[in-house]
Structures are given as structure tokens and as C-alpha cells.
Amino acid sequence: MAAIQDPTLVKLCAQLASRLSISLASARRQVEQAAAREGHRNVEGRRAMAESMLAALDHDEGDHARQLDALLENSEGDGNFMLED
């Protein structure tokens, strides 16, 4: 049986995923790995890490969604870029 997830942590990871334009699973994995590097293995530590990652994004001047759009626009001239599959 799957463990019950902390709703606050899930919400923070969802905000992080939205801001970085990544999946919820990827955002959660990033939070868990960053918390493990800092030595936080409990839910409170992961929650604090997610909050600090969101705060770091607030201070970051770059817009990740625009950066991804720009990278995709630059790739259209590449011979290996597929516009349609």
C-alpha cells in the first residue's frame, strides 16, 4: 500500500513543477534529492527544502518557461528537429 503523502509538500512540489515547467514527479525527486544532500530525511526537512527552492526561484531573474520557448525556437532550424511526428 502506498504511503499517504503530505498535502503541503505535494502542493509545494506542484508549485515548483509549474514554475520550472517540469512534471510533479521530477519536482518531487529534485526536492527529495536536495533534502537528502542536506541531511533532511523527514517530511519537515523536505517541506523546508521545497520552500527554499521556491524562494530561490523568486529571487532568480530568469523565466524558465520563456527560456525553454527560446531554446525550442532556436532548434527549429536544426536538421534533427522534428516539428511533427
pLDDT, tens only, 38-53: 998 899 999 999 999 9
Conformational region of residue 22, where left means phi above 0, alpha means psi within -120 to 50, and beta covers everything else: beta
Rounded to a whole number of angstroms, the distance between the first and last alpha carbons of the chain is 39
> Cell match 527554499: residue?
52
Q: Is the dihedral of CA 56, 58, 63, 68 positive or negative?
A: positive
Q: What percent of the chain has pLDDT over 90?
A: 46
What is d(CA 68, CA 64) in angstroms, rounded to the nearest whole number?
6
User: Residue ranges of the domains in the chain?
Assistant: 7-75
Which residue's entry shows cell 509549474? 18
What pLDDT sits at residue 25? 92
